Structure 1
Amino acid sequence: MTIPFIDPDPILVRAWEEVRAFLNSAFISAFLSALAGAGLGVWGAQRVTERSARRKELLDALRQANALVVLAATISNQALAMKKQHIAPLSERYFQERKTAESVNATILEGGRPPTSTAFKAEMVYITALTVPIDALKNIAYSAQLMPGRALALVAMVEQSLTEMGHAIDIRSKQIESFKARSVTQEVTMQDYFGLKRRDGDTDSLYHDSMVAITEYTDDVAFFGAELADEVQAHASRVRNRLVKLAKVVPEVSTVDFSNPRGSGLMPPREKYESWLAGFRGKG
Structure 2
Amino acid sequence: MDVQLLSQSLPSVCGRPGLTQGVYGDRGNLELVAPAEDGGIWVFWFNADAIDRRSGPPPGSWSGGLHFAGVRPVRAVAITQVSHGPDFLEVMVLSDAGAERYYWTPAAGFIDAGILIPHARAISALTVNADGSSFRLAAVSPAGEALRLTAQTTSYPHLDWLIEPAGNATEAVVLDVADGSLGMLVADHVSTPAGAVPGFWSTVNGVSGAEGHLVGIDARGCVVFSQRGSSGWCGQRQPWPDLRVDAVAAARTNLDDGGRIDVVVRRGAALYHGWLSCDHDAVRAPRRIYARAWAQPGTSLHRR
Q: TM-score, normalised by structure 2?
A: 0.21
* Structure having greater relative contact order (Cα 8 Å, sep ≥ 6): 1
Q: Which has the higher helix share?
A: 1
User: Which structure has the larger Rg?
Assistant: 1
TM-score by length of 1: 0.22
